[in-house]
């Protein structure tokens, strides 16, 4: 017949007791094993379980967006909409996708404005995000908003013709 209480090795039981009572083990204080919820300041409460590159990418996107709104004063960057970010698995490169409503010259102006602000943005993201390594930031044009607006116009035209 099995005992109802699971059996523990004497060493494991002793260690657990020392941890609870904060007694030293082998001349050192016993360290309590913390869960993520008990750590508090060590774990960012905004971080959800999942792929680290996605979580860090969300932080970078939020910081870059606030920097472009508040700190970057280049008129070429006005009207830029950030649509997403994709980080490499080793967190060395962040591609920040943006969109601009307008013609090709506005897209080129926005690209040159973002390229000139890249160093400032990387430095400020490093200060704000608290990451050990700040990925290189590359701004990439995303034509999805322009394509969506075109589709909307086509649907409106079809709707009016009916």
Q: The domain spanning residue 65 has which CATH number?
A: 3.30.300.20
**7-48 residue pLDDT tens:** 444 555 556 655 555 555 555 444 444 434 433 434 444 545
Instruction: State CA 33 to chain mean position distance.
Output: 27
pLDDT at residue 107 in the model: 92
Both 32 and 58 in one domain: the answer is: no
pLDDT digits (tens, 9 = 90+) for 41-70: 344 445 455 688 888 999 999 999 999 999
Q: Is the dihedral of CA 96, 98, 104, 110 positive or negative?
A: negative
Q: How far, in Å, CA of 16 to CA of 22, rounded?
A: 10
Largest CA distance in the chain: 86
112: in domain: yes
Residue 29 sits in which domain range?
Answer: 10-41
User: Has residue 46 been placed in a domain?
Assistant: no
pLDDT digits (tens, 9 = 90+) for 91-100: 899 999 999 9
**Is 33 in the same domain as 75?**
no
Residues 57, 29 share a domain: no
Rounded CA gap, 151 and 145, in Å? 10
- Contact of 115 with 76, CB cutoff 8 Å: no
In a domain, 98, yes or no: yes
Q: What angle do CA 47, 50, 54 make, to 5 degrees?
A: 75
Task: Provide the domain count of the chain.
Answer: 2
Instruction: Report pLDDT for 131.
Output: 83
Domain annotation covers residue 1: no
For residue 71, what pLDDT band results from cuts at 50, 70 and 90?
very high
83 in a structural domain: yes
150 and 90 in a common domain: yes
Q: Residues 112-137, buried b or exposed e (16+ Cβ, 10 A)? A: ebbeebeeebbebbeeeeeeeebbeb
User: Are 33 and 74 contained in the same domain?
Assistant: no
Residue 74 sits in the same domain as residue 95: yes
Same domain, 34 and 56: no
């Amino acid at each position: 017949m099995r005992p109802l209480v699971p059996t523990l090795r004497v060493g494991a039981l002793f260690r657990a007791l020392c941890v609870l009572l904060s007694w030293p083990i082998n001349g050192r204080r016993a360290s309590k094993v913390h869960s993520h919820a008990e750590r508090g300041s060590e774990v960012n409460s905004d971080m959800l379980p999942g792929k680290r590159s996605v979580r860090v990418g969300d932080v970078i996107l939020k910081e870059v967006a606030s920097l472009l709104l508040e700190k970057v004063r280049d008129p070429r960057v006005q009207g830029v909409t950030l649509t997403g970010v994709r980080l490499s698995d080793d967190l060395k490169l962040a591609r920040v996708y943006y969109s601009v409503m307008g013609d090709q010259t506005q897209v080129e102006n926005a690209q040159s404005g973002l390229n000139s602000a890249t160093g400032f943005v990387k430095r400020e993201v490093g200060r704000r995000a608290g990451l050990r390594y700040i990925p290189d930031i590359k701004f990439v044009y995303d034509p999805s908003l322009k394509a969506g607006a075109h589709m909307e116009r086509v649907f409106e035209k079809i709707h009016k013709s009916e």
